[in-house]
Structure 1
Amino acid sequence: MSRDSRERTLTSKLAEALTSSLHLSEVFSNAEDVLFQLLPADYMALCVSRPGRQGDYDWWATKMPAPFLARYSELAEDDFVRSAVVRRPNLVLRDTEMVPQRKVLERSRWYRYCRELGMPLEQVMSVLLDVKGGVHGGLTLYRERRRPFSRRDQSRLQGLTPLLTHTVRNCRMYAEVAARGQMLDAFFHHRGARCVVRASPFTEELRTPSTTALLKRWFHPSELGSSGLPTELVERLALLAARGGDGRLGWDTWARDGEVRGLADQDLRVTFTRLPERDGQRLWALEFQEIPRAIPVPEAWRQLLTKREAEVVSYVLQGWDNQLIAEHFGRARGTVKKHLQRVFDKLGMDSRKALMSRAGLMSRGPLS
């Protein structure tokens, strides 16, 4: 096999390894052998910055002593490799392009420190991977002997730089989404909610386990889009997002009569909630609630209550809590509590439970 043919084969294997996982540790483990074949070296290190934590890196290294990485942050300012590549991102540099003279390299604190560790680094080649979005990475190869990296080695790594950058970007994005998903998942599980979280009207980030079964129960397959979410809800979310989440027109809630799906004893309510931004993206939560079919407000009560008090009672009988009622009316929760207290006083009751129980008995009429 010719050298060019072997190089093409190895490059193909490397591309496969770099797309073998969305976890950088697995990717690096799968790719390191092929990288060493393409770019012979004694040591190799990949570092990737941690967003929002300047000077802090995650490391994946091959054959390097543990102290090399453990003390890197305190010696970083003396690392001539780092100071050279940060000025020329995405460009592969050899040591002869990093320091003007060999004697300058040998006098550096970094050079002496590596020799103290029993890792005499005589030649180096490195590239800063500019991932964007506040993230960058670096791939560095070292040789113990004075056998310089050739221009061919440099050209080969330069050709691989876009693929390496793409891999780091994808893995970092996945890690952030996974972490965000875990936090949201824990939050919604704590609330016991059936919920879908979207990063945009068309990109889903999280779905709590029981939500899919609920969707199948309440929607015909023809109503569901490719994501398994009803097309009508996706369209409503797109409208809300375009309006900046303004729910004053009532678009932040959606309801379905249970009789549409043969569920005569309950209705479905979907609440659209705008969550805080993350990395410039607005998150939305769609919370699904199965509401017991509303008990009507007894006519006798309507004679005793004001119009607003009767409206509050009607929502209590639908299972709404004080916060939801307050948001619906655009009032403070304390205002709703005051309305309810006046209702309790007028009807001679002391709790929501008693209110719902009495209304249920009255809706069934006298026992025969």
Structure 2
Amino acid sequence: MTSTGPSSDSENYDNTSFPALKNDLYLRAARGEATERAPVWCMRQAGRYLPEFRAIRVEHDFFRVCRTPALATEVTMQPIRRYDGLLDAAIIFSDILVVPQAMGLVVEMVPGKGPHLPDPLHTPEDMQRLQDLRKGFSVDRELDYVYKAITNTRHALAGCVPLLGFAGAPWTLMAYMVEGGGSKTFALAKTWLFKYPAAAHELLGRISAVVASFLVGQVRAGAQALQLFESWAGELSPRDFAEFSLPYLARIASHVKSHYPDEPLTIFAKGAHYALEQLVQETAFDVISLDWTIEPAVACKRVAAAASAGATSRSSITLQGNLDPTLLFADPETIRSRTAEMCRGFGNTPLIANLGHGMMPTHDPEHLRVFLETIHETTRAMRK
């Protein structure tokens, strides 16, 4: 296991004592600046596809890894070491469901099934079981282990790449909290939206306040950029996304920017390509992450038009993505050709290369290497 830096309370940590950053490609691209090539990282780049991660999981359950700063740091560092010089960002090893845990719900990670909440919210009355910020609940106290992992990992990285923090978005977290886990139909969570709309908005607002505070705490602890995961955005119609997701995404981004105006923020609203214009014009996110269901050239055109037509005339929005993760099951030559094709599709638009979702447990680690190397070669050649 790698050694970690000093642990510290995030509220008292002095960011100036972190090692100097040597590779700022990701941060420059996130701010819309010109870069010599596209930076690249991958969602779930630390995880079950790596044998070194599976070795740790033999001895430690999933949430113990999340809650133990030294273990979270080690797992975060594993892909950085394996793909030395190929990744341009690390993302702290954690899980979006640490927020429902902190709010008082039991969350288990069941082998072969995934997340399971044995006692979900069945009716609005069940919200009484949740921790409440208005009644002394401290986000920083409950989630301090994430902050400590971030601080430790900043030291372990020694400035080689920036460290990203993240959280789940309110609608996605609400869906888990009501459904009790993943779902094919999201019928229970959607029933809340339509049967108990006032209660749904109250719950979404309470989750938003926790998430916003959590993200600010991650920056204090040393996170150099943040990503918000609205993983179930595509389960909502455009109308329902506009009511039950978008306002809370905007609220969270505004809160973080009010504390850290220069902190790059990314939104990944999977399946909600219908909302690209709204995300550009109605939120303060710097980067919009795309899944694989939209062509890069189409996204570039729509985002550029929305930015120029918006009330604030935002000069630039960076896009992130968006190779279908299942393409990493293909042969190396197919991975190279489709990755290069993806890069060319983004043209000169500011880009952070990534997959359209996360790495899968059965991916071959060497196939990810092919993807990363192709990003380096293709985008560098495009920008000469």
TM class by shorter-chain length?
Answer: under 0.3
TM-score by length of 2: 0.20
Give the structure with the larger strand fraction: 1
Q: Looking at CA atoms only, which structure, 1 or 2, has the larger radius of gyration? A: 1
Structure of greater relative contact order (alpha carbons < 8 Å, 6+ residues apart) = 2
TM-score by length of 1: 0.21
